[in-house]
């Protein structure tokens, strides 16, 4: 194993975050979650609202940022709402309508996602009445949902021993099933149950930077290697303390997306812009200089207001992850002690 879990640190870090969330401390008074971008015009129809999240999950993979995906899909819904009606999509003769829009709005595996969009719409209509909420009926825990949601056979033939409604959906595995459950439970479109939060970059960044997950060989790890550890940590903590999945997910996601995102030490340089051509370029790190006022201000607006600043040891750059798929840690530089005692002049 290339990484191990510090269970004692998990109690400390998760406990402090849950206390800050419960008390409404910063940053939990300011952060915005991706699902909050969904307009009332979609929310007014519960079936449409739930199915919108089902389609959004097609893009919650790889290195696509959740908020960006939601924003772009809202634009797509505003111009072509029929693309979010599974009964309408199931009747498409080709995937060209979706592929054309994806190429303009969400150019990430456009051809593959267009195929998934239509095929999954057909499965949703055939087995679940075209309403993703029915997937959660008579479900008692994540294992039941995984049987229905996770894709098992790709485009290959279905064994006769597998009921048709248990084929799952293309592109959906455990993380995506948890993501779908998170969105629907948070919107109260289905009943809250004990599920593991969707383990994405943001949750892993908090666990790595605070040494809840400790890398043993080198300074980086692949998402596939770290996902099981993050899942085990949060599942144990939630069961022990009776924490709802939506609260646990928000505690880590909002911290990373609001504060860690601003931290000067997490800033990368040399990121590619526009469509990638040629081999992946590994971004560099910004060299922190406490003599620069902007760097000090970035610290004050991020780490200086963080409820777990004292336990955070590493920077984890989103730039490296979104370009290479690796979560890389670097020793976090803290400003001279003087800054820790000066009153903050900048508001977050």
* 252-285: pLDDT as tens digits: 999 999 999 999 999 988 765 544 444 556 778 8
The beta strands (E) that lie in the chain are given as 3-5, 213-215, 220-222, 268-269, 284-285, 314-316, 326-331
Please give the pLDDT value at position 2. Answer: 83
Please write the tens of the pLDDT for every residue from 159-198.
656 666 677 899 898 889 999 999 999 999 999 888 899 9
Q: Quick one: 216 exposed, middle or buried, by C-beta within 10 A (0-12, 13-18, 19+)?
A: exposed
Gap between the Cα atoms of 325 and 305, Å rounded: 29
240 versus 333: the higher-pLDDT residue is 240
330 versus 106: the higher-pLDDT residue is 330
Mean pLDDT across the stretch 47-62? 91
Which among 286, 226, 292, 281 is positioned nearest to 262, based on CA atoms? Answer: 286
- What confidence tier does 341 reach under pLDDT thresholds 50, 70, 90? very low
Q: CA angle 313-2-310, nearest 5°?
A: 10
Please write the tens of the pLDDT for every residue from 104-148.
777 777 788 889 999 999 999 999 999 999 999 999 888 889 989
Mean pLDDT across the stretch 304-323? 91
Domains annotated on the chain, with CATH: 1-29+197-348 (no CATH), 31-195 (1.10.340)
Gap between the Cα atoms of 28 and 92, Å rounded: 43
Parallel/antiparallel/unpaired status of strands 3-5 and 213-215:
antiparallel
Mean pLDDT across the stretch 74-89? 93
Please give the pLDDT value at position 272. Answer: 57
What are the backbone dihedrals phi and psi of residue 45, each rounded to the nearest 5 degrees, phi first?
-105, 105
Cα 182 vs. chain centroid, distance in angstroms? 10
pLDDT at 301 over 70: yes
Return all residues near 291 (Cβ < 8 A) that are at least 6 apart: none
Predicted TM-score (pTM) of the model is 0.85
- What confidence tier does 90 reach under pLDDT thresholds 50, 70, 90? very high
Determine contact, residues 42/49, Cβ cutoff 8 Å: yes
Q: Which two tokens stand for residue 289?
A: 């200089």
Q: Which two tokens stand for residue 338?
A: 């003087």
């Amino acid at each position: 194993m290339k990484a191990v879990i510090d269970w004692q640190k998990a109690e400390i870090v998760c406990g402090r975050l849950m206390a800050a969330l419960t008390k409404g401390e910063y940053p939990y008074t300011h952060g915005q979650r991706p699902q909050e971008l969904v307009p009332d015009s979609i929310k007014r129809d519960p079936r449409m609202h739930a199915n919108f999240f089902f389609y959004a999950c097609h893009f919650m993979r790889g290195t696509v940022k959740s908020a960006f995906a939601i924003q772009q899909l809202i634009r797509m819904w505003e111009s072509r709402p029929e693309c979010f009606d599974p009964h309408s999509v199931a009747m498409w003769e080709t995937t060209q309508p979706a592929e054309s829009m994806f190429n303009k709005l969400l150019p990430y595996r456009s051809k593959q996602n267009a195929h998934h969009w239509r095929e999954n719409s057909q499965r949703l209509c055939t087995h679940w009445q075209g309403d993703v909420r029915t997937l959660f009926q008579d479900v008692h825990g994540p294992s039941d949902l995984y049987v229905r949601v996770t894709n098992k056979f790709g485009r290959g033939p279905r064994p006769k021993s597998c009921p048709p409604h248990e084929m799952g959906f293309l592109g959906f595995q455990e993380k995506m099933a948890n993501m779908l459950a998170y969105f629907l439970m948070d919107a109260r479109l289905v009943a809250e149950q004990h599920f593991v939060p969707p383990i994405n970059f943001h949750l892993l960044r908090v666990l790595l930077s605070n040494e809840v997950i400790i890398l043993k060989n080198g300074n980086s790890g692949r998402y596939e290697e770290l996902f099981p550890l993050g899942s085990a940590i949060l599942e144990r903590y939630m069961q022990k303390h009776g924490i709802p999945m939506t609260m646990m997910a928000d505690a880590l996601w909002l911290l990373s997306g609001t504060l860690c995102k601003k931290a000067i030490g997490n800033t990368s340089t040399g990121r590619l812009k526009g469509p990638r051509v040629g081999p992946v370029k590994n971004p560099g790190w910004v060299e922190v200089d406490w003599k620069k006022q902007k760097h000090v201000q970035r610290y004050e607006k991020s780490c200086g207001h963080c409820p777990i600043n004292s336990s955070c040891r590493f920077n984890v750059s989103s730039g490296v992850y979104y370009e290479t798929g690796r979560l890389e840690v670097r020793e976090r530089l803290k400003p001279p002690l003087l800054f820790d005692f000066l009153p903050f002049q900048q508001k977050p």
